[in-house]
Amino acid sequence: MNRVLDVVRVQLVNWRGIFAWPLGILALTLVINLVTFGVLSDDVPSNGRVTGSLVSIYIVMFVAHLQTITQVFPFALGLSVTRWAFYAGTTVLVVAQGLLFGLLLLLLELVERWTGGWGIGLRYIGLPFLVQDNLLLQWLAYAVPFLAFSAVGVCFGVVFKRWGQSGVYAVTIGAALVLAGLVLLVSRLGWWPAVGRFFTDQSTFALLAGYPLVIAVVLGAAGWLVIRRATP
């Protein structure tokens, strides 16, 4: 367990970089949106000032943890860390980061509400479908997608380390084929209305936190099976 915490500390050696990037991107997109809607204030009614820029901070986490595997993994193994300690430490870091950034978004959402959308009715954090009934659910709705995005990054990273670029292509193309097959199947069987009902019947909390958590756990476990035999 100590070794796992050592790995977390090694990953946080450059903690300014780890936290500055996502926060910087978040701040930058907020400013861009404020300026954009400030300029367009006459053209966009104040109840339509909704932006999807929030996704950028989630994408940053995807890239960050892709690099955790492609760059920190070879470094850590070079310094005699076991794959298990490295993967467990990375998991701890991913969960902690997700919860922390989720909390930050929760606080920003409150600020957004209190300031009437940053003074111009902008919905940047509290997007209509994201808003939950209570603070705990709201926190998890922001936090869990971080875990899912990070897990996807980790998975691409371990596939790259284990099988190289061709492995990444194979997995990407394979996933696309499976998806296309499913679409074809559903169309053939005429199940689209049922699929649509499934999604509308789910609560937004299930879609934001429930299923992403399942995805994160499944991908996280799959990543472990792959990294066990990966070489730095």
Partner 1 sequence: MNVIRMSGVTKRYGQVTALDGVSMELAENRIHGLLGRNGAGKTTVMQILTGQAFETSGGVEVFGEHPYENADVLGRICFIKESQRYPDFFKVKHALRAAELLYPNWDAGFAAELVDDFGLPVNRGIKKLSRGMLSAVGVIIGLASRAPLTFFDEPYLGLDAVARQLFYDRLLADYADRPRTVVLSTHLIDEVSDLIEHVVLIDKGRILLDEDADTLRTRAVTVTGPVTSVESFVAGRTVLHREQLGGFLRATVSGVPDRPVVGGLEFEPVSLQQLVVRTTQMNGPHNGRPVGAGNGGNR
> Could you say which residues in the range 157-176 bind partner 1, by CB under 8 A?
none
Q: Is residue 67 a contact residue for partner 1 (CB under 8 A)?
A: yes
User: Residues 149, 62: contact at Cβ < 8 Å?
Assistant: yes
Segment interacting with partner 1, rule: CB under 8 A, options 5-13, 105-113, 196-204, 211-219: 5-13
CA 61 to chain centre: 6
Q: Is residue 3 a contact residue for partner 1 (CB under 8 A)?
A: yes
Residue among 80, 134, 165, 200 that touches partner 1 (CB under 8 A): 80
Residue 129's alpha-carbon distances to 25, 60, 92, 107, 206, in angstroms, are 22, 22, 29, 17, 12
The two tokens of residue 48 are 């339509």
Q: Is residue 231 a contact residue for partner 1 (CB under 8 A)?
A: yes
C-beta of 69 vs 144, nearer to partner 1: 69
DSSP-based helix, strand, coil % in the chain, nearest 5: 80, 0, 15
> Could you say which residues in the range 82-141 bind partner 1, by CB under 8 A?
82-85
> Vertex 83, ends 78 and 85: CA angle to 5°?
100
The CA R_g of the chain, rounded to the nearest whole Å, is 20
Q: Is residue 81 a contact residue for partner 1 (CB under 8 A)?
A: yes
Residue among 23, 44, 50, 77 that touches partner 1 (CB under 8 A): 77
Q: Where along the sequence are the contacts to partner 1 (CB under 8 A)?
A: 3, 6, 9-10, 13-14, 17, 67, 71-72, 74-75, 77-85, 228-229, 231-232
